[in-house]
Amino acid sequence: MSKRWIFWLLLMGCVPNIGFCGEVNPLAILHAKGWFVGASAGLVWPQLGESSTSVLNGNDVQAPYNSDVYSIDTPNNTQDWSLYAGYRWDQSRQILPHYSVALRYERLSRFKIEGTVDQYSLPDFVNYNYHLYGSANIFSAQGKVDLYDFHSFDPYLSLGLGSANTTIEGYRESPYDGIDARISPGYQNHSTTHFAYSLGLGVDYFITPKITASLGYEYADLGNVKSGNGTSTWSSDSLSFGRLTTNTILLSVFYQLA
């Protein structure tokens, strides 16, 4: 056998077996990378930045009696789901072993916003309760890094930046017992788009080299939300709810493409 063939056989043996050669193989430092797709589902606790909001009631009297106060209860929990497509790098090391970037679409399911109407800003005139609904579509770019390799269990941190299109809709109100119904303010449906960001942490579990499951927590800020303007006396007013933020427990699955 010629010296050339012996050289190539030894070189080929070094690539898959670093220990045999006694030297670090540069090709093994970045041993896997590729495109991936994923999906997640989560349980969400929405929060609104305001605990109450006020609007003019059309009466020609001094403040604050010319305003009605709408209390804002903490919204009920809801669900969301997401789809991902991105690129992941896998490193042959324990510290920062994996990192990825992805595009994400997230759908925040409808949640209920409700409270009471304090007419004329007087405690004795809490005559009505009201409700409406919120929802959101979020488009973002996501960055994620695994911090340490604990033998298939890797804690991670994530950051998302993008835009949220939020919708407030379906205003309804009803009087308490013994109170006559009034002409409803009829606040209209309203959609708006704002800058949004998210911060997350959790644990990745590598089921196989291609399949990863994740359990994590995520905080997101989706911007200010409000209803549309009302009708008649309330045609110049809307209900402002402050910033919509969410706290989410997420379960995700990712598949790395060939």
What CATH number did the domain enclosing 215 receive? Answer: 2.40.160.20
End-to-end CA gap in the chain: 37
Residues 101 and 201 placed together within one structural domain of the fold: yes
pLDDT attached to residue 32: 59
Residues 121 and 5 placed together within one structural domain of the fold: no
pTM for this prediction: 0.83
Residues 165 and 194 placed together within one structural domain of the fold: yes
Residue range(s) defining the domain that contains residue 191:
31-256
Q: pLDDT per residue over 113-138, tens digit each?
A: 999 999 888 888 899 999 999 999 99
Share of the chain above pLDDT 70, in %: 88
Residues 162 and 194 placed together within one structural domain of the fold: yes
Q: pLDDT per residue over 3-50, tens digit each?
A: 444 434 444 444 444 443 444 344 333 455 899 999 999 999 999 999
Q: pLDDT per residue over 136-150, tens digit each?
A: 999 999 999 999 999
Domain count, the chain: 2
Residues 18 and 65 placed together within one structural domain of the fold: no
Q: pLDDT per residue over 87-106, tens digit each?
A: 999 888 899 999 999 999 99
Residues 187 and 230 placed together within one structural domain of the fold: yes
Residues 227 and 129 placed together within one structural domain of the fold: yes
Distance (Å, rounded) from C-alpha 206 to C-alpha 154?
8
pLDDT attached to residue 168: 98
For the cut 90, the answer to whether the pLDDT of residue 258 exceeds it is no
Q: Which one is predicted more confidently, 15 or 186?
A: 186
What does the H/E/C string look like for the chain? CCHHHHHHHHHHHHCCCHHHHCCCCHHHHCCEEEEEEEEEEEEEEEEECCCEEEEECCCCCCCCCCEEEEECCCCCCEEEEEEEEEEEEECCCCEEEEEEEEEEEEEEEEEEEEEEEEHHHCHHHEEEEEEEEEEEEEEEEEEEEEEECECCEEEEEEEEEEEEEEEEEEEEEEECCCCCCCCCCCCCCEEEEEEEEEEEEEEEEECCCCEEEEEEEEEEEEEEEECCCCCHHHCCCCCEEEEEEEEEEEEEEEEECC
Residues 111 and 1 placed together within one structural domain of the fold: no
Residues 38 and 21 placed together within one structural domain of the fold: no
Residues 154 and 71 placed together within one structural domain of the fold: yes
Residues 35 and 48 placed together within one structural domain of the fold: yes
